[in-house]
Amino acid sequence: MLKYTFKRILGVIPVLMGVTFLVFTMLHLTPGDPARIILGEQASLESVQGLRDQMGLNDNFFLQFFRYCGNAVTGDLGRSYSTNRPVFSELLSAFPYTLQLATMSIAIALLLGIPFGIISSIRQYSLFDNIVTSLAMVGISIPVFWSGLLLILLFSVHLRILPPSGGSGFISMIMPAATLAAQSVAVITRMTRSSMLEIVRQDFVRTARSKGANERHVIVRHALPNALVPVITITGIQFGRLLGGAVLTEIVFSIPGVGRLLVSAIQMRDYPMVQGGVLFIAVAFCLVNLGVDLLYAYLDPRIKSQYK
Amino acid sequence: MSTKINFIPFIKRLSRSKTAFFGLIFLCFMLLVAIFAGVIAPYAFSEQDLLNTLATPSMEHPFGTDEFGRDVLSRIIYGSRISLLVGFISVAIALVFGGFLGAVAGFFGGRTDHYIMRVMDVFLAIPQLLFAISVAATLGPGLGNLMLAVGVAAIPQYARVVRAGVLSIRSLDYIEASTASGGGKFYIIFKHILPNCAAPLIVQSTLGVAFAILVAAGLSFIGLGLEPPNPEWGAMLSTGREYIRDFPHLTIFPGLAIMLTILSLNFLGDGLRDVLDPKLRR
Amino acid sequence: MKKYLTLLVLALTIFMVGCAKEEVKTSKAKDTVIIATTYDAKTLDPYATNDVASSNIMQQIYNNLVTVDDNGEVIGELAEKIETLDEKTYRFTLRKGVFFHNGEELKASDAIFSLKRAYNEGAAIKHLINTIDLSTIKQDDDYTFSFSLTQPFSPFLVNMAHVGGGVVLNEKAVTEAGADYGFSPVGTGPYKLTEWKKGDEMTLTRFDEFYGEKPYFANMIIRVIPEASIRTVELEAGTVDLAYEMPALEVNRIEKNEDLAVSEVTSHAITYLGFNTQVAPLNDIRVRQAIKYGIDIETDVLAVFKGQAITATGALSQAVNFADETLTVPEYNVEKGKALLAEAGYPDGFSMKVWTNSKKVRVDMATIIKEQLKMIGIDLKIEVLEWGAYLQGLENDEHEMFVIGWTCQSLDPDLGLYPAFHSTGGSNFARFKNAEFDKYLDDSRLTTDTAERAALFASAQQLIVEETPWVPLANTKMAFGYSKNLKGFVPSPMMYHKLYNLRWEE
Amino acid sequence: MSLLEINNLNIDYLTEEADVHALRGITLSLEKGDSIGLVGETGAGKTTTALSILGLLPPQQSAVRGGEIKWRGDDLLKKSSKDLEAVRGKEIAMIFQDPMTSLNPLIKVDEQVAEMIRLHDKKLSKKDSLRLALQQLLSVGIQAERCNEYPHQFSGGMKQRVVIAMALACSPNLLIADEPTTALDVTIQSQVLELMKTLIKENGTTLIMITHDLGIVSELCETIAIMYAGEILELATKDQLFDNPMHPYTHGLLASIPDVTVEKERLATLPGLPPEPTEDIKGCSFTPRCSRCIDRCRNERPVLSEEEKNHSLACFNPYRKS
C-alpha cells in the first residue's frame, strides 16, 4: 500500500511539470505586456522596458521556464505582479475560503444526495423517485451563476435573512454552499441511486435476505456499503472539481477564494499568480484523486489487494 | 457491443421516457428557433431604443427591454444561435481531436498510448472550466475562440471514452480478421472500431453539448465571450445582474433559456444512455 | 459500516476546521466604521502601484510632504514649511514630533530615502516626481532638506500631493520588511493596518500617536464587495456604513431610504472615444469631426451612465484646475457629419474597428456609438480586448478607434494634458502631434504665474476641441451611499477620501 | 402434517412487454428428512420455486398468481415479512448457485457466518457468534487462520464451503441448494458434494436440491422431480425414476446421459426448444417436442397424479414398462 502511494505520488510529478509547461506556454502566447499592466497606462515607456528587464521577461522562453521550475521545486512560486506578494502566500490566504465553500457544499451534497439516492432506489419508479430524478437533472442543468443570483434576490434582497456576499463566517457561506451544492447533490443522488439499483440486484444481497435479515439490515449493512464505494469516488471527483472550479460561485457571491483570485489574475495577466494558481489547483486535484484512490482501497478490500 | 442503430424502434424506445421525449421536443424547438431566428424575432438583436430602456414585459416586448432598449425576447432568440452553435461545434472539435487521439492511443497501445494518455492527464489535472477560461483569455473574445476554448478543454474526456471503447473492441475476432486480411491500421480504426464506439460517444456528446453550453455561458458571464452587441445568454445574465432588484426580467429570461436548453439536452442524453447502453437497459 | 463511520468523523473534523473562523464582528458602541469598496487594494507600498483602491487605503495610513486644501492650493502636511529657493529648487522643513506606526520619529533622512526610492524603484508613480535631480538632494539637519529639479516645472508641488508622489516612508521599516513591505506598511497617518484578508476585508486601527487630530472611530473595516447591488443591500441592512461607487439605480433607491444619504462628486476621470490620428482615414480632421457630429453624446451619456456622469466638453474634467468652462458639448448633426465625410472622400462611409476593454461603461458606449454611426455610413466592429492586450495594442500602434478612460491624477492640468496630447507624452494613444499644442504646454511648465498658465491651458484645450483627436464623452460622477448618522464624509475627486474625518452621530 | 407443502403454485415475472409464466401450477410436498432433487433445463422454474419458498422473488417484477406454500401448515405467502425473516436462515436456508457473487465482498467470511447466527439469536454477543462461526467454518474444512479473510482471497470451492457453512450455521430444517456445484471445477464439485452429503446426514436436514445434472441428484436425493416449463412432469423416487422413466421428457433426459458401460454412436438429444415462457399453453407444455403426443395432449392439460406408489406423472400417454 505504501509503495503504491509512493508510486502514485511520483506519478503526479510529470503531470505537474506538464501543467506548468502548458500554462507557461499559454501565458506566453497571450497578448499583453505584464510590465505595462503593473505600471498602468500613465507610466513611461522607459519605466516599462526597465521593469521588463528586471522581471526577466526579455529572456529566452526556455530559460524562463526552467528558472520557474527550479524555483517552484523549492516552494518559491514567485511574486504576484499585481501585489508583489509571494504567490504562495496569496494562494494560502485565499484557500481557506475555497476549502470552506467546498467542504460545506460537499457536506450538503452528501447529507441530501445519499438519502435521496437510497430512497429513490428502494422506491424505484415511485412518485418520489420520479421527482427526485427530475430534480437531480434540474440541479445538474442549472447554471450556478443564475441560481446564485436568484437565491440572493430571494434571501438577501426580499427576505433579508442571509447576507448576500460570502466573506468570512458560516452564515455567509450558507447560500454559496447551497448554490454550489445543487449540482453535487444531483450527481451524488444519481450515483447513489444507480449504484444501489445495481447492488440490490447482486447475489450477495439475496444471500443476505436468505439469511433472514430484515430489509433495513439488508440495505444498511449489505447493499449500502457496497453501493457507496462508487459514490465516494464521485464525491472525491466532485470535491476536486469544487476546489478548483468554484470560480463562478465565488464570483457571484464575492468570495475571495482561489477561483476568483485566479480569474482576476488571468484577467490582469498576473503571470506568476496564474501559473502558481493553476499549479496549486492541479496539485490539489491530484492529491484529491490520490486520496480517493486510497480511500477506495481502504473501503474495498478487493482493490487493496491489487495494490499490495 | 454491436450498435447498429435502427432508427424507428430507437425513437420509439426513447420516447417511452417522458423526460427524454421532452428533451428531444424542446431541443428540436430550440433548433428551429435558432435556424429561423431572423423570421421569428420581432426585432433585430442590436436595435436600440434609448427612450425605452429597461422596460418591463409588455405586449410589445414580451420579455421586456434591456438597458439600451433592445428587445430581450429577440436577443434570446438570436442568442440561441450562438449557444447551440458553440455547444455543437465545440463538442465537434473535442470529438474529432479527442476521438482521434483516443482511437490512436487505444489501437496502437504501448508507448503511443502511454504518451498520449499522459498528455491527457495533464489536461485533466486542470478543472475544465478553469482550463476553458485560460484558453479563452489567451485567445481573446470572439465566437471562434469561444468554441475553441470550450472544445479544447473537453478533448481529454472524449479521448478517454474512445480509447476505452477501442480497447474493449480491439481484441475481438473480427478486428483480428480484418488485420489479418491486410486492412490498413487507420482503415481499421475508421471502418471497424470507431463505429462501434458510437453508443457511448453519442451519449457523451449529448451531455457534452449541454456542458459546453453551460461553460460557454459561464465564460460570457465573466466577460470572456463574444463582442457586443452579439446576444449571448451568459453575457445577458451578467448584465442583468446589475439590475436584478428592479428589473429581474433581465436575469430570469436568459437564465431560463440556458437552463431549459441544458436540461433538455441532459434529459435526452440520459434517455439515450438508457436506450443505447445495454448494461443499463431496464 | 465502521469504515464509513470513521470517514464521517474525519470529514466532520475537517469541516469544523474549515468553518472555524470568527463570526462577523458587531460592536455595541459605534467605534467601528464599515466601508464597502469595489476592489481590494493591491499593495500598500505606495511606490508599487497607482490604483485607486490601494491609494484609498494609503490615504489613511500615510502622509505626504504636501497636500492640497479644499481650494486646490498646495499646503504643507508633514512639511511645516516649504520654501522655493529658486525657480527649480525647493527646501522642506519637517514637523517635529511626528511618529511612524513603528515608533520611529520622522526625520529628514526618511523623506530623502522615500524620494530616492520613489525615483529608483517606484516605476508606477515615477512620472510624478521624475523631474527631481537626485544629485542635488541635500540634508541640512534632521528636519530640513532641499533639492532641485532638472528644469523648472510648475506642477511639481501639486503632483507631490498625490498619494504616491510625496509620501514619506520610514527607512527602517522599509529596509526590514524588504519585498513584503506592501503588506506591513508603516506610515505616519491616523490609521494603521492591523489585519488584511486579501480580497475580503481589511481592518485599520486608530494610531494613537498620530500627530494631528485623532479620528473618531477606533477601527475601520474596509470590505470588498464588487457588486453594487450587494453593497446597497448591505448598506440597507446596516452591515455597511458607507458604500462606494453606487450606480444610478442604487442612488435612486438610497435617496428614497430615510436612513441613508448620498454624496456625489465629479471625478477627474474622463471617458472618451479616441482616434489614432496617424492612420487613414482618421488622419483627416474632417473624418474625425464627422464622427463627432454623428454621435449624440448627451443622450448616450444619459443612457449609459443614467445620470452618474456629466457630458464632457473637453479633455479635462471640470473638477481639474484651469479646466476651460467656456467649452460646450459638441452638436449632434447627422447631416453635417455626412457632409464632412463626403468632403473627405467617403460619401458611403467606411468600416473600422473600435477597441474597448471589458469595463462596462466603455463597452456600453461603444455599443451605442456603433448603432449611431451607422447613420453616417460608418460601420464599426467592436473588439473587446483584455486590458493587457489593449494597452499593448495601443503601444504597438495597432489601434484605429478606441473607447478608454483617462484620469488627470492631480488637480493641476499638466498631468491631464501633457502625457495624453503632447507629442512626447507617454500615454498619447491618439498619436496627436501638434507643434502649437506642444508649445502651449511646454510654456506652461516654465511659468508659475496663474493667469499666464490659465491662458495657455485654455488655448491648449480649445485646440484639442478643434483638432478632435478625441471625442470626450463623459466625466464620471461618483456617488456614495452612507448612513445618515455618518458625518464628515467629503468625497474627493481623486477617489481617495480622507476617511479619518468620519464621525458617528445618532 | 407435511413439513413443506406446495399447492398449485403459479408465478409470473412481469416485464414491459408481457408476463412471463415462470411457474404453472407446481404441487410438491416434503416430509422431514426427505431429500428431493428438482431437475430440469434452464428456465424450467427450479430456481423460481426455491426463491418463492423463501419469499425472495423480486417484489416489483414478480407476482404470485395463485397457490400456496405451506410450511408446517402455515402459508408462507401470507406471512408478514417479519415472520418470514424468522423462517429464513433459521428454518429454511439456501445455498446459491454462484459462490463468486453470493458473498458480500466487503465483509470478512467469519463475520458473514457469524451474522447469520446473530440474526437468529439476538442475545448472542459478537464475540460468541464469531467463535461459533469459526467452528462452523472449521467443520466445512476451512483453515482457522483463513477465517479472518475477505471472500476475494478465497477460491471458488472455498467460497462455496463458506456458503455451505453459513447456510447450515443455524441448523435449518430445510436446506435448498440451487445448483451448488455448477460454477465449480469438476474435481472441486465432488469434494463439495461429498461435504454436503456428510453434513446433511449428520444433521438430518431436509434437502431440496436444484440441478440439471441427474448424476448429482442421484448421489444426494431420494426423490426426484422432473420440471419442464414451470411444471413438474414426473415425480418419483430415485430408483423408480431411473428404472422406469414414464414421461417422454424424462425418457429423453435419461437418454442424453452418457453411459460409459454402453457404447453408442451418438447421444440422444431432445429435438426442439421449450415453449415461449410468455405463451399461454392450453394442453401439455411438452407437446411440440413430444414423440408420443396424442390429440388429447394438445387440448387438455395433464395433471400430476400418482401413477404408481411414489411415482406421480403428468402425462396422457406415458411410457409403460412391459
List domains and CATH numbers for chain A.
Answer: 16-87 (no CATH), 94-306 (1.10.3720.10)
Residue with cell 505537474: A16
Q: Tell me, what's the pLDDT at B3?
A: 45
pLDDT digits (tens, 9 = 90+) for D263-306: 555 556 677 777 887 878 888 888 888 888 888 888 888 888 88
- CA Rg value for chain C: 25
Mutate one of B120, B122, B139, B145 to test the A interface: name it (highest A CB count within 10 A). Answer: B122
pLDDT band of residue C15 (cuts 50, 70, 90) is low
Cβ–Cβ contact C110 with A under 8 A? no
- Quote the crossing angle between the two packed helices A61-73 and A2-29, to the nearest 10°: 150
* AA letter at A252: V
State percent of chain C over pLDDT 70.
96
Chain length of chain B: 282
pLDDT digits (tens, 9 = 90+) for D147-206: 888 888 888 888 888 998 898 888 888 999 988 887 778 888 888 888 888 888 888 889
- In B, minimum Cα distance to A290 occurs at B125
Which of the 8 DSSP states describes residue D92?
A: E
Asked if the Cβ–Cβ distance from B134 to A274 is below 8 Å, we say yes
- Quote the crossing angle between the two packed helices A2-29 and B128-139, to the nearest 10°: 20
Alpha helices in B125-225 (DSSP H): 128-139, 143-170, 173-180, 185-188, 194-196, 198-221
ipTM strictly over 0.90? Answer: no
Q: Which residues of B touch C368 (CB under 8 A)?
A: 48, 50, 68
Chain length of chain C: 506
The angle at the Cα of A306, spanning A301 to A308, to the nearest 5 degrees, equals 95
Asked if the Cβ–Cβ distance from D120 to A204 is below 8 Å, we say no
DSSP secondary structure letters along B13-29: HHHHSHHHHHHHHHHHH
Query: Average model confidence (pLDDT) for chain D?
Result: 85
Asked if the Cβ–Cβ distance from C389 to B140 is below 8 Å, we say yes
Interface of A with C in 12-31 (CB under 8 A): 30-31
Query: Average model confidence (pLDDT) for chain A?
Result: 85
Q: Tell me, what's the pLDDT at B2?
A: 42
Long-range contacts made by residues C128-135, C-beta under 8 angstroms, separation at least 24? C128/C159, C128/C160, C128/C162, C128/C164, C128/C165, C128/C409, C128/C410, C128/C415, C129/C159, C129/C160, C129/C165, C129/C166, C130/A44, C131/C156
Taking the C-alpha atoms of residue A170 and residue A101, their distance in angstroms, rounded to an integer, is 10
In this predicted structure, the answer to whether residue C17 has a pLDDT above a threshold of 70 is no
- In C, minimum Cα distance to A174 occurs at C19
Q: Looking at the partner chain, which of C40, C233, C386 has a beta carbon nearest the beta carbon of A267?
A: C386
Q: Looking at the partner chain, which of A16, A19, A149 has a beta carbon nearest the beta carbon of B244?
A: A149
Size of interface A-D (CB pairs under 8 A): 78
Asked if the Cβ–Cβ distance from B53 to C303 is below 8 Å, we say yes
Interface of C with B in 437-476 (CB under 8 A): none
pLDDT digits (tens, 9 = 90+) for C176-195: 988 888 888 999 999 999 99
Query: Average model confidence (pLDDT) for chain C?
Result: 88
pLDDT digits (tens, 9 = 90+) for C67-82: 888 777 888 999 999 9
* A308/C472: higher pLDDT: C472
Quick one: D212 exposed, middle or buried, by C-beta within 10 A (0-12, 13-18, 19+)? middle
Size of interface B-C (CB pairs under 8 A): 57
User: CA of B80, closest CA in chain A: separation in Å?
Assistant: 16
Asked if the Cβ–Cβ distance from D89 to A212 is below 8 Å, we say yes
pLDDT digits (tens, 9 = 90+) for C308-351: 899 999 999 888 889 998 999 999 999 999 999 999 999 998 99
Mutate one of A120, A197, A210 to test the D interface: name it (highest D CB count within 10 A). Answer: A210
Taking the C-alpha atoms of residue A211 and residue A223, their distance in angstroms, rounded to an integer, is 14
Cβ–Cβ contact B248 with C under 8 A? no
pLDDT band of residue D56 (cuts 50, 70, 90) is confident
Sheet holding C79-86, edge to edge: C79-86, C89-94, C144-149, C132-141
Q: Tell me, what's the pLDDT at A245?
A: 62
In this predicted structure, the answer to whether residue D242 has a pLDDT above a threshold of 70 is yes
Q: Which of A222-226, C189-193, C358-362 has the lowest mean pLDDT?
A: C358-362
pLDDT band of residue A42 (cuts 50, 70, 90) is low
Q: Which residues of B touch A278 (CB under 8 A)?
A: 126, 130, 134
Dihedral class, residue D83 (left if φ above 0, else alpha if ψ from -120 to 50, else beta): alpha
* AA letter at B165: G
State percent of chain D over pLDDT 90.
11
Asked if the Cβ–Cβ distance from C50 to A163 is below 8 Å, we say no
Strands D206-211 and D35-40, bridge-based pairing:
parallel
Residue with cell 502651449: C440
Of the candidates D273, D234, D241, the residue with the CA atom closest to the CA atom of residue D257: D241
* Ranges in chain C annotated CATH 3.10.105.10: 267-477
Superfamily of domain C32-224: Periplasmic binding protein-like II (3.40.190.10)
Question: Is the alpha carbon torsion for C13, C18, C21, C24 positive or negative?
Answer: negative
Interface of B with A in 197-256 (CB under 8 A): 210, 214, 217-218, 221-223, 234, 237-238, 241, 244-245, 248, 251-252, 255
In this predicted structure, the answer to whether residue C200 has a pLDDT above a threshold of 60 is yes
pLDDT digits (tens, 9 = 90+) for A140-193: 899 998 999 899 888 888 888 888 876 667 888 889 999 999 989 999 998 999
Taking the C-alpha atoms of residue A261 and residue A94, their distance in angstroms, rounded to an integer, is 7
State percent of chain B over pLDDT 90.
24
Asked if the Cβ–Cβ distance from A298 to C24 is below 8 Å, we say no
Find all residues with CB under 8 Å of C419, minimum gap 6, and list them: A42, C127, C425, C426, C427, C428
Looking at the DSSP bridge assignments, the partners of residue C229 are: none
Looking at the DSSP bridge assignments, the partners of residue B98 are: none
pLDDT band of residue C24 (cuts 50, 70, 90) is very low
Q: Tell me, what's the pLDDT at B256?
A: 93
Q: Which residues of C touch B239 (CB under 8 A)?
A: 360
- When pLDDT is averaged across residues B47-72 and rounded to a whole number, the result is 86
C267-477 topology per CATH: Dipeptide-binding Protein; domain 3 (3.10.105)
Taking the C-alpha atoms of residue D146 and residue D143, their distance in angstroms, rounded to an integer, is 6
Q: Which residues of D touch A305 (CB under 8 A)?
A: 150, 152-153
In this predicted structure, the answer to whether residue C1 has a pLDDT above a threshold of 90 is no
Of the candidates C309, C322, C221, the residue with the CA atom closest to the CA atom of residue C272: C309
Taking the C-alpha atoms of residue A275 and residue A279, their distance in angstroms, rounded to an integer, is 6
Sorted by where each starts, the structural domains of chain B and their CATH numbers stand as 73-280 (1.10.3720.10)
Taking the C-alpha atoms of residue A291 and residue A294, their distance in angstroms, rounded to an integer, is 5
Taking the C-alpha atoms of residue A35 and residue A159, their distance in angstroms, rounded to an integer, is 47
pLDDT band of residue B175 (cuts 50, 70, 90) is low
Q: Which three cell numbers stand for residue A218?
A: 439488508
Q: Looking at the partner chain, which of A96, A164, A232 has a beta carbon nearest the beta carbon of C230?
A: A164
**H/E stretch holding C145:** strand C144-149
DSSP secondary structure letters along C58-99: HHHH--BSEEE-TTS-EEESSEEEEEEEETTEEEEEEPSS-B
Q: Looking at the partner chain, which of C228, C368, C384 has a beta carbon nearest the beta carbon of B141?
A: C384
Asked if the Cβ–Cβ distance from A43 to C183 is below 8 Å, we say no
Taking the C-alpha atoms of residue C168 and residue C63, their distance in angstroms, rounded to an integer, is 7
Q: Which residues of D touch A217 (CB under 8 A)?
A: 119
* Ranges in chain C annotated CATH 3.40.190.10: 32-224
Q: Tell me, what's the pLDDT at B18?
A: 81
Taking the C-alpha atoms of residue B260 and residue B253, their distance in angstroms, rounded to an integer, is 10
Q: Looking at the partner chain, which of C7, C51, C197 has a beta carbon nearest the beta carbon of A93?
A: C197
Q: Which residues of B touch A143 (CB under 8 A)?
A: 214, 217-218, 221, 234, 237, 255, 258-259, 262
Q: Tell me, what's the pLDDT at C22?
A: 46
pLDDT digits (tens, 9 = 90+) for C259-284: 999 999 988 889 999 999 999 899 99
Asked if the Cβ–Cβ distance from A240 to B127 is below 8 Å, we say yes
DSSP secondary structure letters along A222-244: IIHHHHHHHHHHHHHHHHHHHHH
- In C, minimum Cα distance to A104 occurs at C15
Residue with cell 448429482: D216
In this predicted structure, the answer to whether residue A10 has a pLDDT above a threshold of 70 is yes
Alpha helices in C148-296 (DSSP H): 156-160, 171-177, 228-237, 248-256, 285-293
Taking the C-alpha atoms of residue C457 and residue C417, their distance in angstroms, rounded to an integer, is 9
Size of interface A-B (CB pairs under 8 A): 123
Chain length of chain A: 308
Chain length of chain D: 322
Find all residues with CB under 8 Å of B148, minimum gap 6, and list them: B90, B93, B135, B139
Q: How many CB atoms lie within 10 A of CB C433?
A: 15
CA distances from A21 to A258, A277, B25, C269, C456 (A): 21, 14, 45, 40, 55
Mutate one of A153, A165, A229, A238 to test the C interface: name it (highest C CB count within 10 A). Answer: A165
- In D, minimum Cα distance to A303 occurs at D152
Q: How many CB atoms lie within 10 A of CB B249?
A: 22
Asked if the Cβ–Cβ distance from C389 to A51 is below 8 Å, we say no
Cβ–Cβ contact C397 with A under 8 A? no
In this predicted structure, the answer to whether residue C34 has a pLDDT above a threshold of 90 is yes
> Rounded to 5 degrees, what are φ and ψ at D28?
-160, 145
Taking the C-alpha atoms of residue C110 and residue C97, their distance in angstroms, rounded to an integer, is 14
Q: Which residues of B touch C355 (CB under 8 A)?
A: none
Q: Which residues of C touch B245 (CB under 8 A)?
A: 229, 232, 249, 253
Q: Tell me, what's the pLDDT at B183?
A: 64
CA distances from A91 to A179, A257, A265, A281 (A): 23, 8, 11, 10
pLDDT band of residue B1 (cuts 50, 70, 90) is very low
**H/E stretch holding B79:** helix B72-108
Q: How many CB atoms lie within 10 A of CB B230?
A: 20
Of the candidates B203, B210, B265, the residue with the CA atom closest to the CA atom of residue B22: B265
Asked if the Cβ–Cβ distance from A143 to B218 is below 8 Å, we say yes
In this predicted structure, the answer to whether residue B151 has a pLDDT above a threshold of 80 is yes
**H/E stretch holding C118:** helix C108-121
Interface of A with C in 114-143 (CB under 8 A): none
In this predicted structure, the answer to whether residue B282 has a pLDDT above a threshold of 50 is no
pLDDT digits (tens, 9 = 90+) for C445-494: 888 888 999 999 999 999 999 999 999 999 988 899 999 999 999 998 88
